[in-house]
Amino acid sequence: MFQNILKLVVLELLLFYGVADAMTRQQLKNSGKMMKKSCMPKNDVTEEQVGDIEKGHFIEERNVMCYVACIYSMSQLVKNNKLNYESVIKQVDMMFPPELREPTKAAAEKCKDVVKKYKDLCEHSFWTAKCMYDVDPKNFIMNRFVLIFIFFVLFDAAFGMTRAQLKKTLSMPKKQCMTKHGVTEDMVGGIEGGKFVEDRKVMCYIACIYQTIQVMKNDRLNKDLVIKQVDLLYPPELKAPTKAAVKQCMTVQDKYTDMCEGVFWSVKCLYEQDPASFVFP
């Protein structure tokens, strides 16, 4: 309880003094990319279709509607398959800068009944977002709701995420990568426990996970990027052993010209170096 109160107090101070953005600009950018990368391929949309939503460009297509719903779902604003007004207001009160709270809550209030017109999550998410834009275009930023989620991730990290929170965070791209590479839970569900199935699809699934969480560069796991993520997200007791394993295993991939193979064997090495500290979605 005290830790949660402390996190909120720290965040409020950062927002009040206007330094949260300066301190976490790159972290927010990377986290936002991760969420966007998860929702775009999942709903088969392009940047041209969704890149200007914040400017009022709402394309009335099913996949765009479901992309909007995906963003809101990942931002933890959906309950029982509907956007939840109380959750929005509660999080705005806790997380938004003072100057944005009232206009955002006023727009949410005016648009809260949109969900009653549509049974479908994708449709009512889309039309609610459009309503909020129409009510107050100047203050409409869909990604603010994404930032609510990201702030919780970052501040949990700053105060020490638990292993369960870490795994949940890393699991965001799992469904996307499983579908993309045609793997089943039976094939990949035991990776954290050391079950590495030597199958091409599994190898590329593992590479997909690491690509999505932004720790690869030039088709290779990048030691510096991995260590930065470990420092940012991992619980204190896992940081040192995980970084030690990373330093031992990053060169394994150099034995393979193929990206999927190289990543697969490097990750298997990470597990073998320290099974107790290995975390995988």
* pLDDT for residue 79 is more than 90: no
82 vs 200, residue with greater confidence:
200
pLDDT given at position 66: 92
pLDDT given at position 15: 40
Cβ 275 vs Cβ 248: under 8 Å: no
Q: How confident is the model at residue 96 (pLDDT cuts 50, 70, 90)?
A: low
pLDDT given at position 94: 59
pLDDT given at position 223: 93
* pLDDT for residue 23 is more than 70: no
Average pLDDT over residues 6-34: 42
State how far the alpha carbon of 61 is from the alpha carbons of 54, 78, 130, 176, 230, in Å: 16, 21, 13, 20, 39
Given this chain, do its domains 2-150 and 161-277 carry the same CATH topology?
Answer: yes
Q: Rounded to 5 degrees, what angle do the CA atoms 84, 129, 4 make?
A: 45
* pLDDT for residue 137 is more than 60: yes
Q: How confident is the model at residue 169 (pLDDT cuts 50, 70, 90)?
A: low
Cβ 171 vs Cβ 281: under 8 Å: yes
Q: Does domain 2-150 have CATH number 1.10.238.20?
A: yes
pLDDT given at position 145: 55
The type of residue at 238 is L
Taking every pair of C-alpha atoms in the chain, what is the biggest distance, in angstroms?
59
DSSP state of 171: T
Average pLDDT over residues 156-179: 70
The type of residue at 37 is K
* pLDDT for residue 191 is more than 60: yes
Nearest to 180 by CA among 30, 38, 36: 38
35-49 b/e with 16+ CB inside 10 Å = b? bbbbbbbbbebeeeb
Outline where 214-280 has alpha helix (H). 223-233, 236-249, 259-273
Q: What is the DSSP string of 101-123?
A: HHHHHHHHHHHGGGGGG-SSHHH
Percent of the chain with pLDDT over 70: 75
Average pLDDT over residues 108-131: 90
**Unique residue bearing structure tokens 């101070």:** 13
Average pLDDT over residues 20-40: 53
Nearest to 263 by CA among 195, 194, 217: 217
The full set of domain ranges for the chain reads 2-150, 161-277
Average pLDDT over residues 163-182: 78
Pick the CATH number of 161-277 from 3.30.1330.30, 1.20.1440.230, 1.10.238.20, 3.40.720.10: 1.10.238.20
* pLDDT for residue 64 is more than 90: yes
